[in-house]
Amino acid sequence: MRGDLALDQLRTLAAVVSEGSFEAAASHLRITPSAVSQRMKALEAATGRVLVRRTRPVTVTEQGAEVLRLARQVDLLVRELTPVSGDTVPVAVPVVVNADSLATWFLPSVAGVADRVLLDVQREDERYALARMRDGSAMAAVSAVGDRVPGCSVSVLGTMRYRAMAAPSFAARWFPDGLTPDALARAPVVEFDRDDELQQRLVRRVTRRRVDPPRHYVPGSEAFRESIALGIGWGMLPDLQSGPLEESDAVREIGERGRIDVRLHWHQYQLDSPALTLLSDAVREGARQHLR
């Protein structure tokens, strides 16, 4: 660092990255785009680094990630000190959550603190959540990876069990003998997106060879579940989501070999932040009630 970093400059960096452009950041901060540009130039001069790529959307550089992490942390702590009528202002905590947790246990867990903490939830595959922590985009994350990010703590939340599920008619047609290697090589499979490896993880474990079954891509946790119930393909559903469908006989488990347990972890920056502490406590308690 070549000089002192001004708070307004750090806030501008965070806004530019969050909003995706200098113009959107200006609107968010209620200043002119010219002022945003001037603050960014001053911050880059003070740090001696190019902090963002002027793309659409704006992205943080590797050198800028360290400054962005500082900007997020300082902004969170400063906003918690701003009084309104003698009360602490509810502050937004950026948190990364995977789609299945978001659709099942996460929101019920944090609903009780929503009047004291503003949620800024970013949906991301649990395997990639830590990248958001490292580049400063998030202050906390639910992740299947237990590696500790520098400056953060990590704790085990619990386990989500996934089972290979299909509509009864689909299972009867494609899996008459259960989860056999030949059936998995031929049966259409539903995947959340091209980063979703859970189904292929099961396929590799059972077949022990490279196979390329027909694939449907259905993003969205609820849509993914519905596509399986409609018989579009088979897929891995968490127990927290499949229960009602099993009770109504909309889906059934293909076989006991098709079970995968995913251990989830809670990562958070080590800050003396009441809002972050409140959110973390709620997440851990909710996980204790809902996860294995």
Instruction: State the Cα–Cα distance between residues 177 and 173, nearest whole angstrom.
Output: 10
The pLDDT score that the predictor gives to residue 125 is: 79
Say whether 105 sits in a helix, a strand or coil: coil
Instruction: State the Cα–Cα distance between residues 143 and 129, nearest whole angstrom.
Output: 6
Average pLDDT over residues 180-194: 96
Cα–Cα distances in Å, from 76 out to 46, 93, 146, 195, 242?
Answer: 22, 8, 25, 31, 38
pLDDT digits 0-9 by tens, 75-113: 777 777 665 544 555 788 999 999 999 999 999 999 999
Torsion of CA 267, 272, 274, 276, to 10 degrees: -20
User: Contact, 102 vs 221, CB < 8 A?
Assistant: yes
Average pLDDT over residues 223-229: 97
- The conformational region for residue 72 under phi > 0 = left, psi -120 to 50 = alpha, else beta, is alpha
What structural domains does the chain harbor?
1-64 (1.10.10.10), 160-262 (3.40.190.10)
**Residue 172 backbone phi and psi in degrees, to 5:** -65, -35
Quick one: 223 exposed, middle or buried, by C-beta within 10 A (0-12, 13-18, 19+)?
Answer: exposed
Instruction: State the Cα–Cα distance between residues 138 and 69, nearest whole angstrom.
Output: 8
pLDDT digits 0-9 by tens, 239-283: 999 999 999 999 999 988 899 999 999 999 988 888 999 999 999
* Rg of the chain taking only CA atoms, in angstroms: 22
To the nearest whole percent, how much of the chain has pLDDT over 90? Answer: 63
pLDDT digits 0-9 by tens, 31-63: 999 999 999 999 998 888 899 998 889 988 888
Unique residue bearing structure tokens 């490292």? 134
Greatest mean pLDDT among 62-66, 162-166, 270-274 lies in: 162-166
The pLDDT score that the predictor gives to residue 91 is: 81
pLDDT digits 0-9 by tens, 104-114: 999 999 999 99
